[in-house]
């Protein structure tokens, strides 16, 4: 099985890499600029790629011939909480976060769809419950919420468009996780989150195409 994970140098992406390597899979781990902890993993089944998903520049490194599971994990929150209030949010911040969190995964799928179709693979787009309108009772976070909501729609369209090619597409919510993004303040650790998401991916075809699923297997309305 070939797995490709974006934003794999730290946080949830790195934990996905470690999990799948432990399971004996071939893992393509992409990172934006520095490999960080990836550089210290000594495993012949690990293949690194340099890939900044915010631009159309080609990934650097050898891509797999087929991809069983693509995890579109890379993402940013954008400006801190105050920077994303109604008063302070800027067009530039909205565009920057949208470019990474929504257009980024779309770029990745456009680039890799041939390899994913070849394996009748699964695409897991990592969104966030913050992108669910149904769950939004606290407002704010304009850029992050909007970009992750848009990713859910992109993911749903992919699910419809790729179904006839045998590709299954779902969206994931990792939970509130102790990573740099949450300044390590999350409720769960990366191991718990990734263990749950991997199980959801494994069960993927038991979920309808385009569904939004939390790390604990619960469906999230959006």
Using CB under 6 A, list all residues that contact ligand NAP.
6-7, 9-13, 31-33, 52-54, 73-76, 100, 126, 128, 173-174, 176-177, 179-182, 186
Asked whether the beta carbons of 19 and 195 are under 8 A apart, the reply is: yes
Closer to ligand NAP by Cβ: residue 100 or 106? 100
Minimum CB separation from ligand NAP for residue 128, in Å? Answer: 4
With vertex at residue 137, the alpha carbon angle to CA 133 and CA 143, rounded to the nearest 5 degrees, is 60
CB pairs under 8 A, 24+ apart, for 174-178?
Answer: 174/12, 174/126, 174/128, 174/215, 175/214, 175/215, 175/216, 177/11, 177/12
Taking the C-alpha atoms of residue 131 and residue 165, their distance in angstroms, rounded to an integer, is 28
Decide whether 23 or 55 has the Cβ nearer to ligand NAP. 55
Least separation, in Å, of the C-beta of 135 and ligand NAP? 12
Comparison of 103 and 116: residue with beta carbon closer to ligand NAP = 103
How far apart are CB 175 and ligand NAP at their closest, in Å?
6
CB contact at 8 A, 203 and 219: no
Least separation in angstroms between CB 99 and ligand NAP: 8
Question: Sign of dihedral through CA atoms 78, 82, 85, 87?
Answer: negative
List the structure tokens of 128.
Answer: 């966030």
Residue 93 or 117: the one with the smaller Cβ distance to ligand NAP is 93
Q: What is the token pair recorded at 17?
A: 């890499």
Min dist. Cβ of residue 142 to ligand NAP (A):
15
In the complex, what is the shortest distance from the CB of residue 137 to ligand NAP, in angstroms, rounded to a whole number? 17
Residues in a beta bridge with 27: 3, 46
Nearer to ligand NAP, 87 or 125 (CB): 125
CB–CB of 202/111 below 8 Å? no
């Amino acid at each position: 099985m070939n797995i490709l994970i974006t934003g794999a140098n730290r946080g949830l992406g790195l934990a996905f890499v470690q999990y799948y390597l432990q399971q004996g899979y071939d893992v393509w781990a992409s990172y934006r600029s520095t490999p960080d902890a990836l550089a210290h993993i000594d495993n012949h089944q690990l293949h690194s790629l340099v890939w900044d998903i915010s631009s159309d520049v080609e990934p650097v490194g050898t891509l797999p011939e087929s991809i069983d599971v693509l995890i579109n994990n890379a993402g940013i929150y954008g400006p801190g909480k105050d920077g994303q209030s109604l008063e302070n949010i800027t067009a530039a911040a909205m565009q920057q976060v949208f470019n990474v969190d929504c257009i980024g995964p779309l770029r990745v799928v456009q680039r890799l769809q041939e390899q994913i179709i070849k394996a009748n693979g699964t695409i897991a787009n990592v969104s966030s419950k913050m992108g669910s309108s149904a769950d939004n009772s606290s407002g704010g976070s304009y850029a992050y919420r909007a970009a992750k909501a848009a990713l859910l729609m992109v993911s749903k369209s992919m699910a419809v468009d790729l179904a006839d090619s045998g590709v299954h597409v779902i969206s994931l919510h990792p939970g509130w996780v102790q990573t740099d993004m949450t300044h390590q303040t999350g409720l769960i650790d990366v191991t718990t989150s990734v263990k749950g998401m991997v199980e959801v991916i494994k069960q993927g075809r038991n979920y309808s195409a385009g569904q939004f699923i939390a790390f604990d297997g619960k469906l999230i309305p959006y």
